[in-house]
Chain A
Amino acid sequence: MANVKIPIGPQHPALKEPESFTITLNGETIISMDVRLGYNHRGIEKACEERNYIQAMYLVERVCGICSHSHSTCFIQAVEEIAGLAVPPRAQYIRTIIAELERIHSHLLWLGVAGHEIGFDTLLMYAWRDREAVMDTLAALTGNRVNYGINTIGGVRRDISPEQLAGLLKTMDVLEERTKYYIEVASQEITLIKRLSGVGYLAHEDAVKLGAVGPTARASAVDRDIRRDDPYIAYKDLDFKVITDTHNDVYGRTLVRVGELMQCYNMIRQLVAKIPDGPVTVKAPRKIPAGEAFSRYEAPRGEDVHYVKANGTDKAERVKIRAPTLANLQSVAKMMENNRLADVPIIIAAIDPCFSCTDRMVRIHDAGHGRQETLSWQALHTYSLDWHRKQGIDFKALNAKLSRRMKL
């Protein structure tokens, strides 16, 4: 039978965000998959260069709606390293508490989405109902459910009161009990096991070779976790286990995530017990001295990397973000091979993708000729100006308006 190519996306009911997957099929079996990125490019890195560090921090926080704290902490760590700021230990602990709460909410969200993708909507409803407990806790601690805005250069913006810490422990008890139940469901519910076992197989060697990160890699027995390997914020004081699994498939990824949830509760209890007293912020300079820093962070989806170059002004010269989904996309193509077409949504969902975090570059792809072209910044700038002029946009009026706005 001849091979058939099926486009999935950029707009597709099975995908929550626009991304294009071209799947080559032989009958029902997937031969290969091709990914095209760039539908969600928002130019955040460039926009960071136009804003001072405080403004850029809020922008970076909005790279991702789920792991917002991951991105802002990763960015702030790099800025603080360049500025040589010693962040107070209490602030480090608060950052870690929020980081772990974020991981709990992200993993519970994933559990629900995975249930939904395999038609197990009961799991979606209950996982998301329980997730509300951690969302409410985050709102009470930081002031918002999603973009917490807890970080600031040199510390955190809000302290946590002893009553809130006590409340946090109570929430952890409730969530731990619920997670134990989900572990029971995952290990005993025959429909779930049969549906997920052997789907999206990623061998250990492939996971290493393709540079998979986070729970995707750990489910293929890659024992790698930045929290343990290169401790940042308060992780060096914590005792925890890195969960790995040898199933190598979507079922393994489920087990890794629910297992990590149990570790999160344990870590938060340790953090609450050990949190030191003291100030939560140090005064940060407005202008950051020239220098560059590279920061790593274990986001719920895997290793997040930020690079910041400062030039002595109050604005960064260059910010580079590598979101975990980008590192995992290569392995998705590998996972797809020899699976059925109906498995596509759950295999994509199994890496917990966040496509809008991923898109960093605009590449011109001439579909008719198969030619590819990468534009330099200057060329893109000229191209954009010409394109807008052709649409009849008057830059003089725009520039005058912009300079008025930017003027203090």
Chain B
Amino acid sequence: MIHPGKMAREVLTSLFRKPATVLYPYVKVQMPDRFRGKIKFTSPLCIGCKLCMRDCPTNCITITKVGDKQFQAEFDLDRCIYCAQCVDTCPKKALEATAEYELAQLQHDKLKVIFHAEPTPASSPAAPAEHAPQSQPAIGA
């Protein structure tokens, strides 16, 4: 039957359904398991092969040798496209993608993230220290 208002019923029933949208800043969405968020670097696992630097499509990773078998990673998050190719490329699983997705910053220098090398590489495999630099220039740049 051809008549106008074909969707009227759908619209009226939707009035009594719960909203399809999420109140985002108040209600956080759970990311799927395979989500590619901010990249995490585990310094003790890194062997300094720099394959991640070679494969990164945006050249946002800089791996620097800071001591004997000690490496630190520097990420330019303003360039990172979160493809997680570095995670696939890394032969030692020193890089992993986390579920962190709220990465907007008001200050540009906060987008530079440095994962410092551990002082004692063998003893503690815990998450390495991470902070945005204050004012000093990046070591590898």
Residues of A within 8 A of B (CB): 51-52, 54-56, 58-59, 62, 122-123, 126, 129, 132, 136, 139-144, 147, 149, 152, 157-158, 181, 184-185, 188-191, 193, 404-406, 408
Complex Cα spacing A129 to B84, Å: 29
7 pairs from A and B in contact (CB 8 Å cutoff): A58-B85, A126-B7, A143-B32, A147-B81, A149-B84, A190-B2, A190-B3
- Min distance, Cβ A371 to any Cβ of chain B, angstroms: 39
Q: Pick the residue among A59, A123, A129, A143 that contacts B36 (CB under 8 A).
A: A143
Closest residue of chain A to B6 (Cβ to Cβ) is A189
Complex Cα spacing A406 to B32, Å: 34
Q: A188-B2, A404-B141 are in contact. Are A129 and B81 (CB under 8 A)?
A: no
* B1 interfacial contact with A, CB 8 Å: yes
Residues of B within 8 A of A (CB): 1-7, 10-11, 20, 31-36, 50, 53-57, 59, 81-85, 88-89, 97, 141
Q: A143-B84, A147-B81, A152-B88 are in contact. Are A51 and B57 (CB under 8 A)?
A: yes
What is the interface of chain A mostly: helix, strand, loop, or mixed?
helix
Q: Are A58 and B83 in contact (CB under 8 A)?
A: yes
Q: Are B7 and A122 in contact (CB under 8 A)?
A: yes
Q: Are B20 and A58 in contact (CB under 8 A)?
A: no
Q: Are A188 and B20 in contact (CB under 8 A)?
A: no
Complex Cα spacing A142 to B141, Å: 33
Closest residue of chain A to B63 (Cβ to Cβ) is A408
Complex Cα spacing A52 to B55, Å: 8
Q: Are A122 and B11 in contact (CB under 8 A)?
A: yes
Q: Kindly list chain A residues whose C-beta atoms are within 8 Å of the C-beta of B85.
A: 54, 58, 149
Q: A132-B20, A189-B6 are in contact. Are A157 and B88 (CB under 8 A)?
A: yes
Q: Are B83 and A188 in contact (CB under 8 A)?
A: no
Most buried by B among A62, A149, A152: A149
Q: Are B83 and A189 in contact (CB under 8 A)?
A: no
Q: Kindly list chain A residues whose C-beta atoms are within 8 Å of the C-beta of B53.
A: 408
Q: Kindly list chain B residues whose C-beta atoms are within 8 Å of the C-beta of A54.
A: 55, 57, 85, 89
Q: Are A405 and B7 in contact (CB under 8 A)?
A: no
Q: A52-B55, A404-B141 are in contact. Are A193 and B20 (CB under 8 A)?
A: no
Q: Are B32 and A189 in contact (CB under 8 A)?
A: no
Besides A62-B81, A132-B20, A140-B34, 5 more A-B contacts (Cβ < 8 Å) are A144-B82, A149-B83, A157-B88, A188-B2, A408-B54
Q: Are B34 and A185 in contact (CB under 8 A)?
A: no
Q: Kindly list chain A residues whose C-beta atoms are within 8 Å of the C-beta of B33.
A: 140
Complex Cα spacing A65 to B88, Å: 23
Q: Are A55 and B57 in contact (CB under 8 A)?
A: yes
Complex Cα spacing A71 to B6, Å: 37
Complex Cα spacing A158 to B6, Å: 42
Q: Are B7 and A193 in contact (CB under 8 A)?
A: no
Complex Cα spacing A140 to B55, Å: 25
Q: A139-B35, A408-B53 are in contact. Are A58 and B4 (CB under 8 A)?
A: no
Q: A55-B55, A59-B57, A147-B83 are in contact. Are A193 and B36 (CB under 8 A)?
A: no
